[in-house]
């Protein structure tokens, strides 16, 4: 039995998303106030591949 309740919305969402600070950022719809979490990168993309280790290593070499 699934106890989850899905709320349907007719809102044409206008997301205002926080600046990236980690793997996800919170977003709030400017029209209806709904809150949603957004990923800051696509898995396997450039910046999340090395978890930041490569960036720190490049800085140390500079």
Give the CA distances from residue 54 to residues 11, 19, 57, 58, in Å, rounded to whole numbers and listed in that order: 41, 22, 5, 6
Q: What is the pLDDT of residues 15-60, one digit of tens each?
A: 999 999 899 999 999 999 999 999 988 766 555 555 555 556 656 6
Q: What angle do CA 20, 22, 27 make, to 5 degrees?
A: 50
- Residue 4 scores a pLDDT above 90: no
What's the residue count for the chain? Answer: 62
Q: Is the pLDDT of residue 8 over 90?
A: no
C-alpha 34/C-alpha 12 separation (Å) is 11
Tokens of 26: 């919170």
* pTM for this prediction: 0.52
Instruction: Please state the φ and ψ torsions of residue 21, each to the nearest 5 degrees.
Output: -155, 75
pLDDT surpassing 70 at residue 3: no
């Amino acid at each position: 039995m699934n106890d989850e309740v899905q709320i349907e919305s007719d809102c044409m969402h206008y997301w205002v998303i926080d600046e990236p600070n980690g793997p996800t950022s919170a977003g709030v719809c400017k029209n209806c106030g709904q809150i949603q979490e957004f990923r800051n990168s696509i898995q396997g993309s450039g910046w999340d591949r090395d978890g930041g280790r490569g960036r720190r290593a490049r800085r140390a070499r500079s």
